[in-house]
Structure 1
C-alpha cells in the first residue's frame, strides 16, 4: 500500500511538471493554468486520477496505522516500558502464583492472522497470594476469565499498559484453577522492523506462549535494560540486568520462565489443512476435519514453561538415533541440507547418551522458521532454527558443516540441560542456559569433525565477541555475574567454558556436571557450579570467570 501511495504521488509530480512547465519567458499566474496545452486531455485526466488515488491511499494508511492501532513506534514502546516500571515495579517484591499445569485448546487462522484459544491453567499458590496480576500482550481480546469455575471481573485494569488484577477469593488454597477464553488478531498492515508480529503470520507463524497467555506478577521483559535509555526516562541506573545472587525471590524463580514452576500440560492445536503446527511436548496424534488439521501434544514430565507455538507449510523428513525419533520439518523449497541435519542430530543424540546416560525424550522435532525470528529456540521435544542459519547454505567447505554441527548440537544439548537443571533466575543464569550447551557442542564438533573444525568455530565466536562487545550499552560484567547480554554468554562465555572442558576432559566434565546437579536440587546458580569445579581448575582458568 505504501508503494501505491508513493507511486500515485510520484506520477502526480511528473504529470504536474509537464503541465506547468513553460518554454520561453512566459511568467505570472497564467503559467499555472490547468488549460495549458503541454499536457493532453488524457494526461490531465490521468493527473486527476493519480491525485485522487494518492489522497485515497493516504487516508487508508492513516486509518490502518492510527485507526486500527496496529503499529507502535519504538519511542512509544520505550515510554511505556519506563512507565510500567515506575508504576508496577513494587510487584517485584511480591511472591505471586506460578504456572503449574496448562491444558490448551488453540486454533490458528493464518489467513486472518488470528488465533482463538481456551486455556485451563493450574497455578501453585504456596504463599497464599490474595491477588492475581496478569500482564497481557498487545491485541489480545480476553472474552472470559474464570477462577475456580466462576467468571470474574478485574478489580483493577490498566488498558494502556495491559495489566489487570483479580481478587483470589480463597487465597488459602495452594492450588488455583483459572480458565481463559481469548483471541488474538492483527488487523491491517503487517508491521515490519524489530517487531514484525511473527506469532500470527499468513505463512510461517511462530511465537512464545507468552504472546497468548499472561505473564504473572511483574513482567521483567518489559523493563528498559540499557542505562542510556533509562537515564532519558528518569530511571535509576542498573548495576546488573539480572537479580543479584542473594535475591531470595529471584533464587526461587526459574530462569526460563520466572512466573512458572516446571509445568506439565496437554495441547490440542489446529490450523488450516495445508499447514503443519509447531508445539512443545510429545506428539500423540493428528487428524483432519472440515478443512483443518488437528494435533495433540502432551508434556508429561515437568519442563520449563518456555513453550512456542506456530503454523507453517512443511515437508517432513524422518531419522532415528538410539531409539529417539527425529523429525525434521522444513520449507519444501529448502531440502538442500536435510541429510546433514539428520547426520548431526543422530550423532548429537548419541553423544548425549554416552556422556549423560540418556536423552530426555523419545522424540524430537526440528523446525525451520522464517528469517525474521531469533536464530535458535529449544523447548520441550522441539528445536526451531531460522531459515538463514544453514537450511540452504552451501556445505562444500568445512566451515559450513562445522557451523551446522555446532549450532544444531548446542540446541539438542539444551534439551538435556532444560530437562535436568533447574536454573535460578539470577546473575549467571545464561552461563548455564546458553554458554554451557554451546561449550559442550564445541567438544562435540571437535570429536566429530576434528581440530580444524573446532578452531573455525572458536575463531568465529571470538570474532563475534570482539565485534559485539563494542555495542554494550551497560558495563560488561564478569562471566561469574553475567547478566544476559546478547553477546557475552554465547561467545566469550562459551569459549571460556570450553577451556574448562578441555582442561578437565569431556568425560570428567560431564560427570562433574551430573554430580553437581544432584547435589544442588534447587536454586542452582552458575557461581555454585564454578565453585564446585574450582578445586579441579587452574588458577588462571578460574580467574577468567571472575575478571572482566
Structure 2
C-alpha cells in the first residue's frame, strides 16, 4: 500500500501542479457552461427554464462524458509513458514493488476524473445561484458520479492496460483513442451489439423531479459491477502475459469479483429483448402480404369499452382487463376478422364471443373465421386480460412510461386492434421493392368518399394505483375510493369519445375551482406550483372565449395533469376532459424571465381548444388536410387568446416568430397548401397555419371567422359525416363578403 500511495502521490502532484490541468479544466467548464446556458435560455420559441438541479445534472450527463473521454485518453498516455520517455523506468523496474505503479496511475487518474466531476457539479450549482433557484437536489447531481465518473474510472483502467501492452507511446495513444471511441463513446452501440458490454458508456437520460433516475440507476450500477469484474480479469490476464507468473492470492480475489460481476450482469440482462432491424422489416413485410386483404373486408368496430386498469408503479408494470362491444356497422356479414395484440404485452386471457361461439385467442395475431357470420348491425364481444412490464435494459417507451412516480400512458394504443393496421407497413421504397411489396397504403384524398361520424365509443374506465398516488385519465371522475391499501378511480366521459384515451399516476398536489358550472382541476408536482394560479386564470379565459364563440363545452370538468420527463414527444396533449403536460417543457417554466414568453397562455389556449377542435366535437375524417381542422384551428384559438390577454402588437410578435419557424423549415420538405397538409409537416399545420389564420382574421374580422367555425361545428353535428378541410373554406365563403373569396382561397389553397 505504501508503494501504491507513493506512485499515486507522485502522479497526482504531476497532474495537479502541471500547466495542462488549468487549461483543460477551463475548456471543460466553458463548454459545459455554454450547454447549461442553452438549456436554461430556450430561445425565441420557449421561455427560460428554472435552473433546477435536475436540469443542470441532465445537461452535464449529456455533454460531459464525450469530452472527458478525450481528456482521459491523453492523461492515461501521458502518465504511463512519462517515466519511459525520460528512461527513468529502467530504475523503477529494478524495484520489487514496480507492479504497484499501474495501480497508482489508475488511482491518480481516478482522482482527476472526480475532480472534473466535482467542478462540473459546482458549475451547475453556481448556475442555480445565478438564476436564483437555490434548492439544490444532491440526488440529481449524484447521477454525475454514477453515470459519468465511474464509467470513466473503468475506462482509465482499460486504457492503462492498453498502454502497458503496446510498446510505443504514440502508437498506444492512437490505439487508445480509437478503442475509447469504440467502447465508450456514443458510437459504441454501432460496434458492440450487447448492452451488457457497453459498460464504459455514459447515460444521457433526463432526471425527473417526479421519479429521479428511476430504476435506471440500480440497473446501471449492476452493469458497472460487471464491467469492474471484467476489467479486473483483463488486468490479471495482462499481468500473467507480461510476467508469465500466476499469483494465486490475486487469482482468488479476481475470481470472486468476476463471479460477483457475472451475477450482476445476469441481473442487468434479465428480460432483454434484442431488436434486429432486418427481422423487424421482414415481419412487417409478411404482415402486409398476409393481412392487407382485410383493408377490403368488412370488419366490426368497437362501440363500447369497459375496462379496469391495475397500475403497479413501483414494479414498472400494469394489467388491463377489458370488454369490447363489437358491432358490424356495414351492410355485409362479417365472416372473417383480424385481431391483434401489442408486442411486449402478455396475453393472460382473451375470448371472442359471437352468438353461441366462444373463441379462445392465444396468439398476438389471430384470424377468426366465424361459423355463423356476424350479420349487419349484430354485435359480438371481446373479453381480454393483458399485462405489461418494462425492464431498463430495453429502455422504456415514452408514451408507455409506467414508473415509480409520474407515470403516463397513451394506453389506448396498447389495447387490442381490429382489422388491418396500415401504420405497420414499411414506408421506405427501396425496402418495399426488395421485399416484393406494392405501393404503400396512401393517405385518403379530399375527394374520396367520407366516413361516417358514428365511430365513437362509450368508455367506462376504472383505474387503481398505489396508496400514495392519484390518477388522472380521459373522461370525468365519477367516483373515487380506497380499498385494501390501494386508491381506485372511476372515469366516464359524459358523451361518446374517439377510441383514444390516456392516464397518468403520480404523487400530486391538487388545486381545484368551479368556473361557470365547469370544475377545473390542476394536478402537479408539489414543488412545481409557480404557474398554477396563472394556468387557472388562462383556463377560465379559454373556456369563456371558446364557449362564447364556438359553442358549449361538452363536459362538466377539465383536468390538467403534469407528468414526468420520462415522457417525451410533446409539451402537452389533449384528451376528452383531460390534458396532460410534461414537467420539463411548458408548465414548469420561468415566465418572469427576460422575454416573458407566456407559454402557459399558449398551453391553456391551444390544448383546451382541442376539446372543440379534435377532442370529441370536430373530429376530422382521416385524410389529407385533416390536421388543419385540429392543430391549425387550435393555433388560431391560441393566437386570439394571446391577443385578448396581451394586445394585438404582442400577438403579431408571436405571428412573426411562427413565420420565422416556417421559413426556416420549409426547405426541408415538399411544400403543400394548408388545406392538404399532412400530419408530419408541423411547420405548415402549426406555424404557417397560425400566420394564415391571423391574416384571415385581419382580412374578414375575428367575429366573422368565429361565426364560420361555429357553423362548421353545427354542420358536423347535423350531417352524420366527418368534416374535411374544404368544409371550413366553404363556411368562410358563406359568411364573408364576395370581395374576399379569392383571397380566402389563395390563403388556404395556395403554396
Mapped contact 2:467–2:485 kept (Cα < 8 A): yes
Q: Name which of 363, 370, 379 aligns with 2:575.
A: 379
Aligned residue in 1 for 2:158: 13
Aligned residue in 2 for 1:505: 701
Deviation per residue, 1:269-324 (Å, 9 max, x gap):
11111111121112111111111000111123112222112322211111332221
Alignment partner of 1:456 is 2:657: no
Aligned residue in 2 for 1:243: 444
Deviation per residue, 1:443-487 (Å, 9 max, x gap):
111111212431332233233333444543xx3432222221241
Structure-2 change in CA distance of 1:174 and 1:196 (3 Å): same
Alignment partner of 1:136 is 2:338: no
Aligned residue in 1 for 2:604: 408
Question: In 1, Cα distance between the equivalents of 2:152 and 2:461?
Answer: 47
Mapped contact 2:472–2:559 kept (Cα < 8 A): no
Q: Name which of 338, 344, 349 aligns with 2:532.
A: 338
Deviation per residue, 1:15-53 (Å, 9 max, x gap):
756987999xxxxxx995368499998876665555445
Aligned residue in 2 for 1:263: 457
User: Normalization by structure 2: what TM-score?
Assistant: 0.63
Question: In 2, Cα distance between the equivalents of 1:232 and 1:456?
Answer: 50
Question: In 1, Cα distance between the equivalents of 2:653 and 2:245?
Answer: 66
Question: In 1, Cα distance between the equivalents of 2:709 and 2:749?
Answer: 20
Larger mean Cα displacement after TM superposition, 399-408 or 378-387? 399-408
Cα root mean square deviation, aligned:
3.6
Larger Rg: 2
Aligned residue in 2 for 1:290: 484
Question: In 2, Cα distance between the equivalents of 1:74 and 1:458?
Answer: 42
Alignment partner of 1:393 is 2:589: yes
Q: Name which of 642, 647, 654 aligns with 1:445.
A: 642
Look up the SS of the partner of 2:608 in the other structure: helix
Q: By how many angstroms is 1:425 displaced?
A: 1.4
Question: In 2, Cα distance between the equivalents of 1:307 and 1:153?
Answer: 26
Question: In 2, Cα distance between the equivalents of 1:20 and 1:321?
Answer: 75
Aligned residue in 2 for 1:88: 291
Alignment partner of 1:533 is 2:732: yes
Question: In 1, Cα distance between the equivalents of 2:495 and 2:266?
Answer: 53
Aligned residue in 1 for 2:34: none
Larger relative strand fraction: 1
Runs of at least 5 residues in structure 1 that lack an aligned partner in the other structure: 24-29, 255-259
Question: In 1, Cα distance between the equivalents of 2:259 and 2:149?
Answer: 12
Aligned residue in 1 for 2:353: 147
Alignment partner of 1:434 is 2:625: no
Runs of at least 5 residues in structure 2 that lack an aligned partner in the other structure: 1-145, 169-236
Mapped contact 1:199–1:208 kept (Cα < 8 A): no
Mapped contact 2:542–2:608 kept (Cα < 8 A): yes
Look up the SS of the partner of 2:465 in the other structure: strand
Aligned residue in 1 for 2:672: 477
Q: How many residue pairs were aligned?
A: 523
Aligned residue in 2 for 1:72: 275
Deviation per residue, 1:124-168 (Å, 9 max, x gap):
2122322332232122222132314853135xx8x6xx4322234
Mapped contact 1:266–1:296 kept (Cα < 8 A): yes
Aligned residue in 2 for 1:27: none
Aligned residue in 2 for 1:257: none
Question: In 2, Cα distance between the equivalents of 1:75 and 1:164?
Answer: 23
Question: In 1, Cα distance between the equivalents of 2:279 and 2:648?
Answer: 49
Mapped contact 2:307–2:462 kept (Cα < 8 A): yes
Larger mean Cα displacement after TM superposition, 106-115 or 389-398? 389-398
Mapped contact 2:618–2:713 kept (Cα < 8 A): yes
Mapped contact 1:114–1:184 kept (Cα < 8 A): yes
Larger relative helix fraction: 2
Mapped contact 1:287–1:294 kept (Cα < 8 A): yes
Mapped contact 1:409–1:441 kept (Cα < 8 A): yes
Mapped contact 1:268–1:295 kept (Cα < 8 A): yes
Structure-2 change in CA distance of 1:504 and 1:468 (3 Å): same
Aligned residue in 2 for 1:164: 366
Between the two structures, name the one with larger relative contact order (CA 8 Å, sep ≥ 6): 1
Structure-2 change in CA distance of 1:11 and 1:398 (3 Å): closer
Larger mean Cα displacement after TM superposition, 229-238 or 278-287? 229-238
